[in-house]
Amino acid sequence: MEKIIQKIQELKIKKNAVILAHNYQLPEVQDIADFTGDSLGLSIQAKDTPADIIVFCGVRFMAETAKIISPHKKVLLPRREAGCPMADMIDRESLLRLKEKHPAAKVLCYVNTSAEVKAECDLCCTSANAPLVVEKGLQETKEIIFVPDKYLGSYVACKTGRKFILWDGYCPVHVKILPQHVEKAKKEHPQAEVLAHPECRPEVLELADQVLSTEGMCRYVARSSLKEFIVATEVGILHRLRKENPQKGFYPAFEGAVCENMKLTTLEDVLQALEEEKHEITLTREIIERASRSIERMLQLR
Ligand code: 13P
Ligand code: SF4
């Protein structure tokens, strides 16, 4: 492992590359990354980095977002097949049909969508900024279509007092977390606060003390005077939470909340991606231009 890490570090310098990793990646991949974060944080890093090559350790829609924001940089996804099943629950054609039914509506898309879908949307959001994007970016809009996550959509609608036309998408990992898992964890750790990701079911969010994106959880825990937390999201985040807060206790709401796609990328894949500069994300100029509008509008609302 040491040898692989050393080779990755050498190649990174030689090729002026940066490694970005999502908070759900394998611990060893998070540890060699230059930046570990949530979808919003990684998008901002992709925009601001002076590197020529971005090795994106995450899933396809995240690497595509980096490419849309930084079209002149080479963006590599170490495992070609690392996708997001929720993002795959909506495609361009289905969205166009929905838009036809609601011609006056503006479309807000969760960042967990393909570049083709983003190209048909007015505005993009992540789990970290969705209420802010609605309040600042869509205050005059009467009809809002939100795709694809019905749970994030209904959470944001409730928070902002707005009504959305929702798509029937969901994250197959977060829906595995059930209220009874949270109740059980609360009984076992009565002092712990419950942190939940907004992709969870509404019945789980009702039991949460805080509803946060993955980066929001990391920030919240660092500032909190509390010592114990029940974490209702993909279990990969526990590595970072424990590493950054060794004196605090973290308990997964449900151990089975594992995103297989996020676990595909190994250190060997990262090395191979750097050596062979694969698998490069390529998008047409038209898609980049159209999809970048919704992302840039989101980034301006920071
Ligand atoms: P975050 O933006 O909170 O990291 O979430 C992305 C994601 O895919 C959650 O399942
Ligand atoms: Fe997609 Fe869910 Fe995996 Fe996040 S955890 S990448 S939403 S399948």
57 carries a ligand binding annotation: no
Q: How far apart are CA 174 and CA 254, in angstroms?
A: 10
Instruction: Output the pLDDT for position 40.
Output: 86
Q: How far apart are CA 42 and CA 279, in angstroms?
A: 18
Domains of the chain: 2-83+262-282 (3.40.50.10800), 87-171+289-300 (3.40.50.10800), 174-258 (3.40.50.10800)
Q: How far apart are CA 59 and CA 147, in angstroms?
A: 18
Nearest CA to ligand 1 atom 1: 38
In angstroms, what CA-CA distances link 222 with 2, 89, 179?
A: 30, 35, 26
Instruction: Output the pLDDT for position 302.
Output: 75
H helix runs in 72-114, sequence order: 92-101
Nearest CA to ligand 1 atom 6: 39
Instruction: Output the pLDDT for position 29.
Output: 98
Instruction: Output the pLDDT for position 7.
Output: 98
In angstroms, what CA-CA distances link 217 with 10, 161, 212, 237, 283?
A: 32, 24, 6, 9, 32
For the CA of 37, the nearest atom of ligand 1: 4
For the CA of 24, the nearest atom of ligand 1: 4
Instruction: Output the pLDDT for position 1.
Output: 83
Instruction: Output the pLDDT for position 220.
Output: 98
Residue 262 C-alpha to ligand 1 middle, in angstroms?
11
Per-residue pLDDT of the chain (302 residues; tens, 9 = 90+): 899 999 999 999 999 999 999 999 999 999 999 999 999 899 899 999 999 999 999 999 999 999 999 999 999 999 999 999 999 999 999 999 999 999 999 999 999 999 999 999 999 999 999 999 999 999 999 999 999 999 999 999 999 999 999 999 999 999 999 999 999 999 999 999 999 999 999 999 999 999 999 999 999 999 999 999 999 999 999 999 999 999 999 999 999 999 999 999 999 999 999 999 999 999 999 999 999 999 999 999 97
List, as own/partner pairs, every contact residues 2-6 make where C-beta atoms lie below 8 angstroms and the sequence separation is at least 24, other chains included. 4/267, 4/268, 4/271, 5/32, 5/267
Q: How far apart are CA 130 and CA 39, in angstroms?
A: 12
Instruction: Output the pLDDT for position 270.
Output: 98
CB 153 within 8 A of CB 114: no
What DSSP state is assigned to residue 163?
-
